[in-house]
Amino acid sequence: MSHIPKLPTDEQIERVRSFNRFYTRHIGLLNEGLLESAFSLTEARVLYELAHRGPVTAADLGRELGLDAGYLSRLLKRFGAQGLTQRNPSKDDGRQFLLSLTDKGFAAFTPLNQASAAQVATMLSGLSVGERERLTQAMTTVEHLVGDGPRPDRPYVLRSHQPGDIGWIAHRQGILYAQEYGWDQTFEALVAEIAAGFVRNFDPQWERCWIAERGGEIIGSVFLVRSSDEVAKLRLLYVEPCARGLGLGRRLTEECIAFARDRGYRTLTLWTNDVLVAARRIYQAKGFRLVKEEPHHSFGKDLVGQTWDLDL
């Protein structure tokens, strides 16, 4: 005889409804403008997806957010009229159009994103370290129990860099390259210098950093840096061992290529070493060509440095 679960009690139902009312009131979802902005909650969610997913079709965006196609179409038409979004034909299928944020769209989204992060930081600042951990674990539990579960095709999210990321990236790459290739601390120093220079001179119109995150943990990253009006550099691509096999290195490389093309660069270049076989395979698969290589002694090892270029 199959087991039939009991129906939820009235008390359980009311408890969930009570929490919903509390949380929507607590973070201001009932206000006309989210976070004192001109955007509603739904509009902010659309901006968030476009900022973090990159070019996407309206159909995919609607499925991701669970929005009615007609409503989403009207919203996107309004965003387009305001100069926040743009539509470009897909290179793979000319019948489809890909949506992305314009510079004006990113400018509108950035303060909204920062305000949201600041709001949560304020909420968490009144809690002890242990209380914060309990709260975030409880939220994760809610997601797992009543959400759709992990998406096999999207087991991580991509976001822009935040305070603390740069030090973490230098720390992790220093450890990983020491463990896997025996490189010394001078490599960690180089990563720190490159990443610090990126933050210090960051120009959001021409440059970007992608942080891959899963379950609140960083599992990979890459930087795109402006070298000249026509040339951009792909720098510091890395993927944590626990995330290898997900296609994350390829995805991060594709994000760099798409962004470079969107900004009008003519060449995307990178420097690597021949021992980094997995990364080189990704670059070759994406059309990069080897234009220069030379032996050098760095990071305590004899290496062969390589320059790869992609014509955009």
121 plus 190 within the same structural domain: no
Residue 224 lies in a domain: yes
Tell me the pLDDT band of 134, cut-offs 50, 70 and 90: confident
What pLDDT score was predicted for residue 152?
Answer: 46
Q: What is the pLDDT of residue 29?
A: 52
Residue 32: per-residue pLDDT: 47
222 shares a domain with 177? yes
Q: Is the pLDDT of residue 96 over 60?
A: yes
Residue 281, pLDDT above cutoff 50: yes
Domain annotation covers residue 139: yes
Q: Within this chain, do residues 177 and 142 fall inside the same structural domain, yes or no?
A: no
236 and 264: one domain?
yes
Claim to verify: residue 209 and residue 106 sit in the same structural domain = no
Point out the least confidently predicted range of 45-54, 59-68, 130-139.
130-139
Asked whether residue 179 falls in the same domain as residue 279, the answer is yes
- Counting residues of the chain whose pLDDT is more than 90, the rounded percentage is 46
Residue 104 and residue 214 share a domain: no
- List the CATH number of the domain containing 271: 3.40.630.30
3-state secondary structure the chain: CCCCCCCCCHHHHHHHHHHHHHHHHHCCCCCCCHHHCCCCHHHHHHHHHHHHHCCECHHHHHHHHCCCHHHHHHHHHHHHHCCCEEEEECCCCCCCEEEEECHHHHHHHHHHHHHHHHHHHHHHHCCCHHHHHHHHHHHHHHHHHHCCCCCCCCCCEEECCCCCHHHHHHHHHHHHHHHHHCCCHHHHHHHHHHHHHHHHCCCCCCCEEEEEEECCEEEEEEEEEECCCCEEEEEEEEECHHHCCCCHHHHHHHHHHHHHHHCCCCEEEEEEECCCHHHHHHHHHCCCEEEEEEEEEECCEEEEEEEEEEEC
User: Pick the residue with more confidence: 272 or 150?
Assistant: 272
Domain count, the chain: 2
pLDDT digits (tens, 9 = 90+) for 182-238: 999 999 999 999 999 999 999 988 999 999 988 778 999 999 999 999 999 999 999
Q: In this predicted structure, what is the pLDDT of residue 287?
A: 94
pLDDT value at residue 165:
92
Is this structure's pTM higher than 0.75?
no
Q: How far is CA 181 from CA 116, 295, 308, in A?
A: 40, 16, 21
pLDDT at 174: 95
- For residues 182 and 279, membership in a common domain is answered with yes
Question: 154 pLDDT exceeds 60?
Answer: no
Residue 137 scores a pLDDT above 70: no
Query: Which range is most confident: 78-92, 129-143, 163-177?
Result: 163-177
Q: Quick one: pLDDT band at residue 5, thresholds 50, 70, 90? A: low
Range of the domain at 236: 157-311
Tell whether 103 and 139 lie within a shared domain. yes
Judge whether 5 lies within some domain. Answer: no
Final residue in a domain of this structure, among 101, 123, 146? 146
Q: What is the pLDDT of residue 153?
A: 47
